[in-house]
Structure 1
Amino acid sequence: MEEIGGYGSKVRKIKADLEKKFPGILDISTKATPTITGWLEIEASGKLIHSKKNGDGYVDTQAKYEKIFAGIENALSSR
């Protein structure tokens, strides 16, 4: 995994949390960006669940985690 700005360790934590919640279900990849804070995009079944660059911000609260988990569950159940 590439470091994403200074947030590499935080992105790894989010990835680990998603893999724990959805073991063996998600294909999670990351890519570094040239900006200092990077972009964080979370998609499931072709649906954008969370976009830091489009205004959802960084995943820094339990409410954001719950929204992501619910979005992924919804996307997976509708495929």
Structure 2
Amino acid sequence: MAGYGSKFRKLAEQLEAEFPNKLDISSMATPNVTGYFEVNVADKLVHSKKNGDGYVDSEKKYNKIVDAIHDALGD
């Protein structure tokens, strides 16, 4: 995750700021590939680079994740 670690950290910081003390955010490096940048909320996959969503590089993609978190938290 060396090349994309900064993107992950930026997203994690944004989500932690929006949902303080409510999220458990982690990452796992994937050797020999560019990574499986995926976001799961309440055991539901809501974003997957591998499945065609790409990186979270737009407000639309970010909002999809935020909406899923709100739904999972019952907000």
Q: TM-score, normalised by structure 1?
A: 0.84
Superposition CA RMSD, Å: 1.5
State the Cα distance separating 1:5 from its structure 2 match: 4.2
Identity %: 55
Unmatched runs of 5 consecutive residues or more in structure 2: none
Tell me how far 1:44 sits from its aligned partner.
1.5
| Gapped regions of structure 1 (runs ≥ 5) | none
CA distance in 2: counterparts of 1:26 and 1:52, whole angstroms: 21
How many residue pairs align between the two structures?
A: 74
Instruction: Say which structure, 1 or 2, has more relative contact order (CA 8 Å, 6+ apart).
Output: 1
2:19 corresponds to which letter in structure 1?
Answer: F
Does residue 10 (structure 1) correspond to residue 1 (structure 2)? The answer is no
Instruction: Report SS of the residue matched to 2:70.
Output: helix
Q: Which runs of 4+ in 1 moved over 4 A?
A: none
2:20 maps to 1:23? yes
SS at match of 1:27: coil
